[in-house]
């Protein structure tokens, strides 16, 4: 009887993937507004601190997407397409130029992360796996993608400790503390909404969450130009 009632009632405990995406999106946009439109000060610090929650959530969602997608190669292709589409808006937003090789957009980090997961899944030899992880971390550092090698490790740890909550949280704590920016310490609070994840996907607005990244960067860029920041 209880099982029948549970099946009949919707799951209301926790948050679904759609809600996590919204949290990541809002905190990310808050971060970008603070980084571009505000100078150093209290407002800047608060906006950037709020934004530290975004990337850990995106890394978590990437790993969940890796496990639940019907076609990993299409998943990787989408990330690659939007990585290319987003690079010019990213450089315009943060540097005011069409192309800046000094910093790559977050889709590059996510693309590298999920590609590493796919390769590791198909390789059995531990030494080869370790060599690949080191290679990807070094590459992320050298091409200056968002979050550098720490971003790769965040994604990797979410995968390795996916079924071990204590180790997953501890590894993410270390990653956020290790990152060069003191503000990134605030990123540990992303573990709260992640811990509330109920495993449900929620409403599907896949391409909205992809497209809003380059679109919001362009909006911030034009606002910044209007204000004479560049």
Q: Tens of pLDDT along 28-87?
A: 999 999 999 998 889 999 999 999 999 999 999 999 999 999 999 999 999 999 999 999
Average pLDDT over every residue of 215-228: 95
How far, in whole angstroms, is CA 15 from its chain's centroid? 18
Is this structure's pTM higher than 0.75? yes
The token pair that represents 116 in the structure block = 């590493």
Q: What are the structural domain ranges in the chain? A: 13-226
Q: What is the pLDDT of residue 179?
A: 63
Q: What is the pLDDT of residue 12?
A: 57
Residue 86 has what DSSP assignment? Answer: H
* Residue 126 CB partners (closer than 8 Å, separation 6+): none
The token pair that represents 3 in the structure block = 């099982």
Q: How far apart are CA 53 and CA 27, in angstroms?
A: 6
* % of the chain surpassing 90 pLDDT: 79
């Amino acid at each position: 009887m209880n099982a029948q009632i549970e099946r009949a009632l919707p799951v209301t405990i926790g948050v679904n993937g759609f809600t996590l995406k919204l949290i990541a999106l809002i905190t990310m946009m808050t971060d970008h507004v603070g980084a571009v439109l505000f100078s150093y000060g209290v407002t800047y610090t608060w906006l950037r601190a709020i934004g530290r929650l975004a990337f850990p959530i995106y890394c978590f969602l990437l790993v969940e997407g890796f496990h639940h997608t019907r076609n990993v190669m299409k998943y990787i292709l989408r990330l690659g397409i939007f990585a290319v589409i987003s690079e010019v808006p990213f450089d315009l937003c943060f540097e005011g130029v069409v192309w800046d090789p000094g910093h790559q957009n977050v889709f590059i980090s996510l693309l590298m992360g999920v590609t590493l997961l796919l390769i590791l899944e198909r390789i059995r030899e531990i030494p080869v796996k370790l060599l690949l992880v080191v290679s990807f971390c070094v590459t992320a550092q050298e091409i200056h993608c968002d979050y550098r090698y720490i971003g790769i490790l965040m994604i990797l740890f979410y995968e390795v400790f996916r079924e071990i909550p204590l180790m997953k949280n501890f590894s993410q704590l270390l990653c956020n503390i290790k990152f060069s920016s003191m503000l990134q310490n605030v990123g540990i609070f992303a573990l709260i909404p992640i811990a509330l994840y109920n495993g449900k996907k929620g409403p599907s607005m896949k391409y909205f969450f992809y497209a809003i990244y380059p679109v919001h960067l362009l909006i911030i860029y034009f606002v910044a130009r209007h204000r004479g920041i560049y």
